[in-house]
Structures are given as C-alpha cells and as structure tokens.
Chains A and B, each alone.
Chain A
Amino acid sequence: MFNIERWQEIFETLRKNKLRTFLTGLSVASGIFILVILLGFSSGIENGVTSEFQQDATNKVSVRTRRTTKGYKGLNPGRYIQLKDEDFTSVNATYDDNLEYRSASYSIWGGQITYKNESGNYRVRGVLPDEQFIENASLVQGRFLNLSDINEGKKVAVIGNKVKTDLFKGKDPIDKDIAIWGINFKVVGVYTDPGGEREESNVFLPLTTVQNAFNGGDNIRDMAFTVKMSENFKEAVELSKNLTLAIENDLKQKHIVAPEDTAAIRVYNTLEEAKKIYSLIDTIKAVFWFIGIGTIIAGVVGVGNIMIIIVKERTKEIGIRKALGAIPVSIIAMILQEAIFVTMFAGLFGLILGLGLLEIVGPHVDSPFIKFPQVDFKTALTTVFILVAAGALAGFIPAYRAAKIKPIVALRDE
C-alpha cells in the first residue's frame, strides 16, 4: 500500500488510460452523487412534513363539547353540554401527575377588532398562560399572558403576527389599545406560530377577563392539556390514549352523557395523529433508503463490470508482466489498488459535488413539504467506503482470475 514504486506505476497507468479512468470514475461519482441528493431530499421531506404538523404541541389532549345526540337516564337528546371552570379544575387535580401544560379557553366568534381606523375579524380567545405552549406559539415581541393577568382580570391582549401586520401596518403594537366589541385592551405581546397565518390570526385575552366582559360567567368552551412525554414514544402514545379515555369517562359521568354518545363530549389526542405522521415519515425514509441502496448496488455492479472489462482488456499486458517476472500477488495488488484509488477519488468527488449542490440549492427550495435538504456527512462518507469496498471486492474476482491465467495463454490473447 505504501510502496512508492507501485504508486508511480499506478499513476502512470492511470494517466495513460485517461478514458478508462474517466469512465470508471464517472460511474462511481454519479452513483454517490445521486445517493447524496436522494438522502438530502429524504431528510428535506422529513423536515418539511415534521414542521408542517408542528403547529400545535404533538402531545396535546383537547376537550370539546356539543349537544347530546342520545337520551340517557331520562334526559332528552339535544341538550348542550356546557363545560365549567370546575370541570377544568377537577381534571387538573385528578390527572395532575400526568399533565404538563393546562389551559381552558372561552372564545368569542367573529370578534371585530379595531385599532384607530383599521379593523378586522379575528378569533378572540380567553385563555390561560399555558396556552402558549399548547399552541406552540413563540413570542416575537413583549410577553404572553401571565397569572396576574388572569387573577386580576386585566384588559390585556396578545395578538398574532397576522393581526399585527393587518392592523398596525408595521408600527409597534406594544402598549397600544385595541377595541374588541367596544372594550379596550392593551397589547402586551405578539406571537408567531409554526402553523402559519391561520394560526397567527388569533387574539389571546385572559380567560377571566373574557368571562367577565362577555357574560361568560364560569363557562368555558374547551380545555387543552399536554401530556408529559416519557423517553419511550410508544409508552407516551399509550399514556396519552389512556388519559384521553379516562378524562372522557369522567366528564361523561359528571354531565350525565351516554357512554356511547361520541358527539357530546369529545376528547382528542394529537399524539396518536403524530404517530401516524411519524410512521409516514419513516415510510418515506425507508423508500429513499431503498432507492439509495439500489443505487449503491447498481454502482457496485457497474464498478465490478468495469473491472471485468479492464482485466479482460489487460489480459495480454498481464501475460507480458508475468513473463517479465511479475508474481500473481503483485498483479492482483496492482489492479485492486488502481481500482480502489479511482473509486475512492471519484466517490469523494461525487460526495462533495452532491453536498455542494444541496448546500447551494437547498435553501432555495420553496415547498412547504421540503425544508433544509441535508445529508449527514458521516452517512454519506460511509456509503462511499461501502461502495469502494464493494467495488474492490467486485474487482478482486476478475483480478484474481487474471493473475491465475498462465502467461502463455495470456500472451496468445489478441
């Protein structure tokens, strides 16, 4: 391997057989290049899909109510189930150990909001401070609602980015008053949400303020929680499923709803949905890996093929070399070393080219489902080595056979 004489011999051979060297290199480089691009886009799709479904916390459990559809214990169907503050408190207390963030909300539909001469219709929701984490909202300005806002029923508001651009036209909204149904609220924060514009057209007010100002009493429209995540994803899914069932059961009993009445009280858990998405991502990944491995196999077969042709083409030369005193091992070593050098060099070239293209084109890909296509450098490097090793193995067989040919037979080859 570190025999300078042999390297000189190899470089000389490569230099004088440019076309052959180029073709071998091209097949290896293009194989690796395609693989890198494939893996890059696979990770891009993974990133894109993940972020697309990231609008809310993935471990969310939410409770909504409607009218009953079935009669139960002498009560007529069509009765509206109204959640109260005490429902929230009791769920909170019962499942305290398993819950992370908790929020109840009371919304006003079609809340007309006015700032000076600008106005628009947005969803106005009275919420608790934890809503920020349940909604996956992050603040761009100011603060979110806090406990003292809730306790004192302050007239403050946190607005979405969309609301800000619509109403404030780029001006600073903090500490400005907006009017909702004629009542003034002071803007204390602006948030952004990975879910996009739709999720950013909310206005959050303290729950207590909304209940008081808009005659809500102790009514709440829905509640949402996040489940504490355990290390094991499967366990977490199981836990959140059980929790969902338990909460649903409790509320149904309390509000005298038939157990089979699925419309009246609904408890969703997003983790099960998330599970589907993650398994979709896994499938996409598997497909790309399948294609990638296929490409590698095709590359190996290609390299092996080229090696066979090279050896065939060089049979006579091998015969001459043997007649002049080359030992079989030196013939095998010469062919293999040359093959490994070319595949390695070309493989790394394809790798760098692929990575470079991803680096340049990646940020410009404008699709919600493909984001930051990237390749783990280690993975890519490993595939190069696999290709080189497999190529060498594929080359070894013809090289070994060539070294075994009797010089007299090889010399007769025209």
Chain B
Amino acid sequence: MIQIKDLHKSYHMGSNSLHVLKGINFNVKEGELVSIMGSSGSGKSTLLNILGMLDEADEGEYILDGVPIKNLNEKTAARYRNEFLGFIFQSFNLINYKSATENVALPLYYKGIPRKERIAKAEHYLEKVGLKEWSHHLPSELSGGQKQRVAIARALASEPKVLLADEPTGALDTKTSYGVLELIQEINDEGKTILIVTHEDDIAHMTKRIVNLKDGVIINDSIVEQVRANQYV
C-alpha cells in the first residue's frame, strides 16, 4: 500500500538548516496497523506529514497504492488527499461552527457528493463511532474523546485507503485514549490500513507493528503482539 525509499527532508530556518529525515525506507501492506514511535524531534511528525501529502519530501520515492507521489500540484494533491487519505489530528481540528454531522460530511462535500447523501453517510459513520445522539452538537459541546471520535468518523467518511493519525491520544486521558484505540482497532479489523504516530508505549503496543525513529532514521522496525484495548475499558 505504501512504499517509501530513501526519503530525505530538511527544514531551512534563516541560515540554519535542519536535516530532519535522513533516508527513510519502509513499506506498509494493506490492512496493517503501524505505529511510528520516537521522541520529539525524531522526525515522526514530518514523516507523517509527507505521507499525508501535507508536506513534500526533498528527495526519495513515495508510492501510495501504486501511484507515485511526486511534484504534485495543489489541485492533484488535494484530490489525492481527498481520495486516498483520512486524517486524525492530536488537536482534533474540527471546524468549530459546524455540527458533528457537518464536520463529518465536509470531505464528502469536496468529493462532490450531493448534500442529502452526504448527511446520510455522515450520520452512518457517526453511528459507527457511537455518537448518533450527538450528531447535531457543536464541537464545543463535546468531550475530548467525543471530538476525536467525530474526527475519526470524518476520516472514515471519504472511505480512504489509509488512515493517518498524528498523536490521536495526545490530548486525551488514559481511559479515553483506550476507548479511541479500541475504535481504531475495530476499524483496522475491518481491513483498513492505519498509521499512528505516538510517543506513548502502551498505545504503540496496541498496534501490530512498531517503527522506531531516532534522529531521522529508522532504528527498529518490528512486528509486535497486539494488545487489545477493550480489555482495559
């Protein structure tokens, strides 16, 4: 599903140049649940942003579902993001003046799906994440866990090939985190490819594979025994 070869990325801030990714190689097969770990500054978020086409690599190859992602113009990048990827952010990134349903329906709007169908689909996914009764609430009326569930529903709504989660539990307490992880595991069980960036060990062990990043290179990439989140909930 994802093939990455010799990926490099530097940031330039004034006269300083920061080499963040120093040659990353890894592949993700369909249906995998991968966590990318590392301390802050290890380059894990940068890697995820490149995977999410939110940022561009300086060098190297990135193939997503057989499509090379290189020198995309804004329009194509936007279309690929819409078709291939679902994002889950640490700070949820919901639009605060839109209700849960409208937030979930937004990627479908950019897909060009008619309003009625959009709303129906959005409600279906909200039900899937267990927020059917909250569909008309604004993000400000929801708890952190609920917000993240809305964000997950939104990521799922456009039926992407890959879900990318950037510290999805970073802003949540442990109990809520496990709830969110349980949901992510369920989605993965249905066959969705999911990548999670995290620095929490317990969260990482709930995935099926851990990729360890340090100073811009992969120092460890291993399959782990998955810990089911539902045993904690």
- A residues sitting closer than 8 Å to B (CB atoms) are 5, 8-9, 12-13, 16-17, 316-317, 319-330, 406-408, 411
Complex alpha-carbon distance, A319 and B55, angstroms: 12
Total A-B residue pairs with C-beta atoms closer than 8 Å? 66
Shortest Cβ distance from A13 into B: residue: B97
Q: Contacts A408-B49, A411-B93 hold; do A321 and B110 have CB atoms under 8 A apart?
A: yes
B78 & A5 in contact (Cβ 8 Å cutoff): no
- B residues sitting closer than 8 Å to A (CB atoms) are 49, 52, 54-55, 74-75, 78-79, 81-83, 87, 89, 93-95, 97-98, 102, 106-107, 109-111, 114-115, 154, 158
Shortest Cβ distance from A410 into B: residue: B54
Partner of B81, one of A16, A323, A328, A330: A323
Q: Give 15 pairs: A residue, B residue, CB < 8 Å, sorted on A.
A: A5-B115, A16-B98, A17-B97, A317-B95, A319-B93, A320-B93, A320-B106, A321-B110, A322-B78, A323-B93, A324-B110, A325-B107, A325-B110, A325-B158, A328-B78
Find chain A residues with CB under 8 A from B82 CB.
324-325
Partner of B109, one of A5, A317, A408: A5
A411 & B81 in contact (Cβ 8 Å cutoff): no
How close is A252's CB to chain B, nearest CB, in angstroms? 87
Complex alpha-carbon distance, A328 and B110, angstroms: 12
B52 & A8 in contact (Cβ 8 Å cutoff): no
Find chain A residues with CB under 8 A from B110 CB.
321, 324-327, 330
Partner of B154, one of A324, A328, A407: A324
Partner of A316, one of B78, B93, B98: B93
Q: Contacts A9-B109, A12-B102 hold; do A325 and B95 have CB atoms under 8 A apart?
A: no
Q: Contacts A321-B110, A408-B54 hold; do A328 and B97 have CB atoms under 8 A apart?
A: no
A325 & B55 in contact (Cβ 8 Å cutoff): no
Find chain B residues with CB under 8 A from A406 CB.
54-55
B49 & A324 in contact (Cβ 8 Å cutoff): no
Find chain A residues with CB under 8 A from B114 CB.
5
Find chain B residues with CB under 8 A from A325 CB.
78-79, 81-83, 107, 110-111, 158
Shortest Cβ distance from B92 into A: residue: A320
Q: Contacts A13-B97, A316-B93, A411-B93 hold; do A323 and B106 have CB atoms under 8 A apart?
A: no
How close is B147's CB to chain A, nearest CB, in angstroms? 13
Find chain B residues with CB under 8 A from A324 CB.
81-82, 87, 106-107, 110, 154, 158
Partner of A407, one of B54, B95, B98: B54
Complex alpha-carbon distance, A407 and B114, angstroms: 25
Partner of B89, one of A17, A322, A411: A411
Partner of B115, one of A8, A319, A320, A407: A8
Find chain A residues with CB under 8 A from B111 CB.
325
Shortest Cβ distance from A324 into B: residue: B107
Find chain B residues with CB under 8 A from A322 CB.
78, 81
Complex alpha-carbon distance, A321 and B106, angstroms: 8
A327 & B78 in contact (Cβ 8 Å cutoff): yes
Find chain B residues with CB under 8 A from A329 CB.
75
How close is A368's CB to chain B, nearest CB, in angstroms? 56
Find chain A residues with CB under 8 A from B154 CB.
324
B87 & A323 in contact (Cβ 8 Å cutoff): yes
Partner of A320, one of B55, B74, B83, B95: B95
Partner of A328, one of B54, B74, B89, B94: B74
How close is A93's CB to chain B, nearest CB, in angstroms? 86
Complex alpha-carbon distance, A407 and B78, angstroms: 10
Shortest Cβ distance from B55 into A: residue: A408
Find chain A residues with CB under 8 A from B52 CB.
323
Find chain B residues with CB under 8 A from A17 CB.
97
Find chain B residues with CB under 8 A from A328 CB.
74-75, 78
Complex alpha-carbon distance, A411 and B55, angstroms: 12
> What are the nearest 4 A-B pairs in CB distance?
A325-B82, A16-B97, A325-B110, A324-B107
Complex alpha-carbon distance, A316 and B110, angstroms: 17
Complex alpha-carbon distance, A411 and B49, angstroms: 11
B54 & A411 in contact (Cβ 8 Å cutoff): yes
Complex alpha-carbon distance, A8 and B75, angstroms: 23
Find chain B residues with CB under 8 A from A5 CB.
109, 114-115
Find chain B residues with CB under 8 A from A316 CB.
93
Complex alpha-carbon distance, A263 and B52, angstroms: 97
Shortest Cβ distance from A317 into B: residue: B95
Shortest Cβ distance from A412 into B: residue: B91
Complex alpha-carbon distance, A204 and B111, angstroms: 88
Complex alpha-carbon distance, A203 and B114, angstroms: 84
Select the residue from B54, B115, B154 with max chain A CB neighbours within 10 A: B54
Complex alpha-carbon distance, A407 and B75, angstroms: 13
Complex alpha-carbon distance, A5 and B81, angstroms: 21
How close is A57's CB to chain B, nearest CB, in angstroms? 67
